[in-house]
Each structure stands twice: as C-alpha cells, then as structure tokens.
Amino acid sequence: MLQFKYVHIYCNKVNTLDFVNVIVPGVRKYFTSITIDMRHPFLTHIDDAIAENLVSIRISDTKKPFNEQPKIKESEQNVFYEKNFSRPIINGAENNTNTSRREYEELILYDGFLMQRLFHTMINENESNTDHVHIVFEDRLICTFSQEDWRYHARTIVGGNPSIISTTGIVEAPAKPKEWYMKQMQLATYDSDDENEDTSTEKKYLDYGDYRINFIAVGYVLQALFFFITEGDPFCNDNNCRLYNAHWQEELLHSQIETETLCNEHAVLLHKFNTVSS
C-alpha cells in the first residue's frame, strides 16, 4: 500500500464538471487524512511540440497495435486542432437537448498509455515523487490495446501517475442499453428524422451535459487512488462497490449512484490507509 500524502485533481478544459461542489468534496469524504487540491486543466497551454506529440499518439486503426499504426502527418491542420481542442460534439448536445439522434463529429482516439507517458514528462519535478498523485480529467477519448481480441478499446480511466480520466470516455466507453442500439439501427434503416427520446432508456445511460456525470467522476477518482492502495488492481467484482469496473452504462449508474458505497473489503483498506496517514 502506497501512503501518498497529496492528490492533485486537474479540471477538464471544456469545464463541464462541478469540481468545487461535487467532485473534490466527494473524494474528501472518503480520503479524510490527505491534502486534495483542484487545479487548472493539465493542458492549459499547448505549444507546437506538445501538439505534435498528441498527433503522434492518435489511433486510426483500432485493429492494429501502436507500432503498426499508419503514420499520421504532423500537418498544420492537425497541430492547430490539438492546440485549439474542444470536445468534438455538435448539434446542441452540450445543452442536453432531449434528442435520440444527435450528430457528432468523428471522435479521435488516443493511446492512453502513451498519453500518460507524455503527461508524466510535464509534471513538476518537486511533485513527481510517491507523495504526490496527479489525476487529470481530459476531454480527449483515450483507448488501450487488448491482446485478448487484438484491438483497441475506448477507456474511461488509465491508472498510474498521472492517472487520466476521460470525460468523453465516461459517456462513450461503457456500452449503452441494448434497446438504445436497436433504436439507432431502426432510425438508420428507415432514415428517420424522429428525435423523440426513448423513455424506456431515459435514465439508463449518460449523455453529454448530464449532471450525474459529476457523481460518477467521484467514483473514477476513487479507482485512480485505489490503484496505489491495491498496488495496481483497483477494480472490484462486486457491482455494488464504487470500484466495480462497469462495462455497461446501467452498471455504472448502479455502482456509482444507486449504491454509492464501497464493499467491505475495500472499506477496510480505505480505513487502514486513513488511519496510517492521519
């Protein structure tokens, strides 16, 4: 168990989350004996070198590992995109309009571990020791390569120092209810312009602008911190625990909002950490 003393939480650049009233206070309720602070977005100022690095870790073919990815040109257009990045959503989604069929710009995927490696080089040397844990909320969509099915998968979190939590990944990575996908297929098949919300799935998944994301973000910060407490194995098999590794949106809402607690095993570990740190 790593007894860190300081946790630094970096806001997302799009500034859509409530760090002051929900996320930071929510984490403090669990970790009572350490210092937790909120900071400006990690990538506040992106120069050409950082932008070029971000372009270089893009994933264009999800069925190939990184060393086999097609080379992406570090063009002026790509560098400009990274320096002026904003979450790639259009057609009113930020206003949380109740539409079942929104248009999105193509989501760009980034290798999560390579992004983590890049971010690590940007941490102040005085805070790069084991006393400090850095957690970056990033609006870009991260992914990791799985050797089980030999493809990249969108992720919400990459644990480590710094840990990266993708705000886009919270919405896009866990799968929505099956009936949601069936409706999208029907709309595509009949080229329908029907934008009425499917009330059967209204509260079963997250969308951009959903305030519940704030409470779920607390759970992902807990997972990032338990990465160190459990020596790299933060996830729980109990779907009533906030450390449950949800693959479906319904599971995510259940573990983070409906139950909003830790299982006995992880509660004991947290108590031990707080006791030793106090």
- pLDDT above 90 (res 39): yes
For residue 221, tell me if it sits in a domain. no
Range of the domain at 195: 6-212
For residue 174, tell me if it sits in a domain. yes
Reported as a pLDDT band with limits 50, 70 and 90, residue 115 is very high
Q: Whole-model pTM? A: 0.88
Rounded CA gap, 92 and 103, in Å? Answer: 9
pLDDT, tens digit (0-9, with 9 covering 90-100), for 216-240: 999 999 999 999 999 899 999 999 9
For residue 265, tell me if it sits in a domain. no
Give which of 133, 142, 174, 140 is closest to 66, Cα–Cα: 142
The structure tokens listed for 179 are 């009936």
For residue 256, tell me if it sits in a domain. no
Looking at the chain, the whole-number percentage of residues with pLDDT higher than 90 is 70
- pLDDT above 60 (res 264): yes
For residue 47, tell me if it sits in a domain. yes
For residue 220, tell me if it sits in a domain. no
For residue 244, tell me if it sits in a domain. no
- Residue 179 confidence (pLDDT): 75
CA 211 from chain center: how many Å?
A: 15
- Outline where DSSP puts E strands in 4-62: 6-10, 35-39, 58-59
pLDDT, tens digit (0-9, with 9 covering 90-100), for 134-187: 999 999 999 999 999 999 999 999 999 999 999 999 999 998 887 766 776 766
How many domains does the chain fold into? Answer: 1
- pLDDT above 80 (res 104): no
Helix, strand or coil for residue 85?
Answer: coil
pLDDT, tens digit (0-9, with 9 covering 90-100), for 51-71: 999 999 999 999 999 999 998
For residue 130, tell me if it sits in a domain. yes
Can you tell me the mean pLDDT for 193-199? Answer: 49
